Amino acid sequence: MSLQIKYLGLQPYESIWEAMQRFTDERSDSTPDELWVVEHPPVFTQGLNGQAKHLQAFALQQNIPIIQTDRGGQVTYHGPGQIIIYALLDLKRAQLGVRDLVHRMENAIIEFLRSLGISAQARPDAPGVYVEGQKIASLGLKIRKQKSYHGLALNLDMDLTPFSWITPCGLEGIQMTQVSHFIQQPDLHTSQTALVKALCHQLQPEISP
Q: Is 45 annotated as a binding residue?
A: no
What φ, ψ does residue 97 adopt, rounded to 5°? -85, 165
Instruction: Report the C-alpha dihedral over residues 85, 91, 95, 99, rounded to 10 degrees.
Output: 70
Q: Does the annotation place 75 within a ligand binding site? A: yes
Whether residue 169 lies in the annotated active site? yes
Q: Is 152 annotated as a binding residue?
A: yes
Q: Is 188 annotated as a binding residue?
A: no
Q: Is 203 known to sit in a ligand binding site?
A: no
The span from the CA of 189 to the CA of 177, in Å, is 20
Residue 190 assigned to a binding site:
no
Given 20, 169, 176, 195, the catalytic residue: 169
Q: Cα dist. 34→18, 104, 207 in Å?
A: 15, 16, 10
Per-residue CA distances from 184 to 111, 133, 190 (Å): 19, 21, 14
Whether residue 71 is annotated as binding a ligand: the answer is yes
Dihedral (Cα; 174, 178, 182, 183), 10-degree rounding: 180
Confirm whether residue 77 is marked as ligand binding.
yes
Ligand-binding site membership of 151 (annotated): yes
Helix, strand, coil % over all residues of the chain, rounded to 5: 35, 35, 35
Residue 153 among known ligand-binding residues: yes
Q: Which residues are catalytic?
A: 169
Q: Which residues are annotated as a binding site?
A: 71-78, 138-140, 151-153
Q: Which residues are annotated as a binding site for substrate?
A: 71-78, 138-140, 151-153
